[in-house]
A = this chain, B = another copy of it.
Amino acid sequence: MQYPEPIAKLIDSYMKLPGIGSKTATRLAFYTIDMPEDDVTDFSKSLIAAKKDLHYCSVCGNITENDPCDICRDQSRDQNSVIVVEQPKDVMALDKMDDYHGLYHVLHGVLSPMEGKGPDDINIKTLIQRLQKQPIKEVIIATNATPEGEATAMYISRLIKPAGIKVTRLAHGLSVGSDIEYADEMTLLKAVEGRQEM
């Protein structure tokens, strides 16, 4: 016996999401059937809305309803510094800090020769254009501390530095509140390398 078609289709749809296999998809599908009708309608509408109403900002590449995005249009922000990140999620995470009021630039990925991703496949070109047009004095590179993230940081740094713009990289080291006992070797190495005089 097969599942009735509507539930089979819903299971298929759930399985297209990352990290959701057939067992979880089945559980979610059966759960959906018992959900209040309003919640299911909202869910259905929000899927369409997220796909239709959201775009990438033509200036910084961040996800937004309006183009340019709220951050790029906000003239009260410090127009002299840009943090370069891999994904729109990183912008949200960084903007929780109250102490940074500059701009952002989203690469939408990192350089990865293994996956055939070169400089033209990520959002570097518009970064260069911004540096030519806007009064940016410092580019803070906040790609992740992976081999690809480091290589991308290095690539961008070499590209930008000749233009006389200051390029910095976020500090790597121990997380605040973490135990040295549980830190991995690479993090400890970075913490020692980046040590500062007290």
Copies in the complex: 2
| A14-41 vs B, Cβ < 8 Å mask (1 yes, 0 no) | 0011110000101111111101010111
Q: How many residues on the A side are at the interface (Cβ–Cβ under 8 A)?
A: 52
The reply on A155 being an interface residue by CB < 8 A is no
Interface status of A89 (Cβ within 8 A of chain B): yes
The stretch of A44-52, A114-122, A123-131, A179-187 in contact with B is A44-52
Once A6-B54, A54-B4 are accepted as A-B contacts, the answer to whether A13 and B87 lie under 8 Å apart by CB is no
Are A18 and B31 in contact (CB-based, < 8 A)?
Answer: yes
Whether A136 is near chain B, meaning CB under 8 Å from some CB there, is no
A73-88 near B? 1/0 per residue, CB < 8 Å: 0000000000000011
Binding stretch for chain B, among A63-71, A137-145, A156-164: A63-71
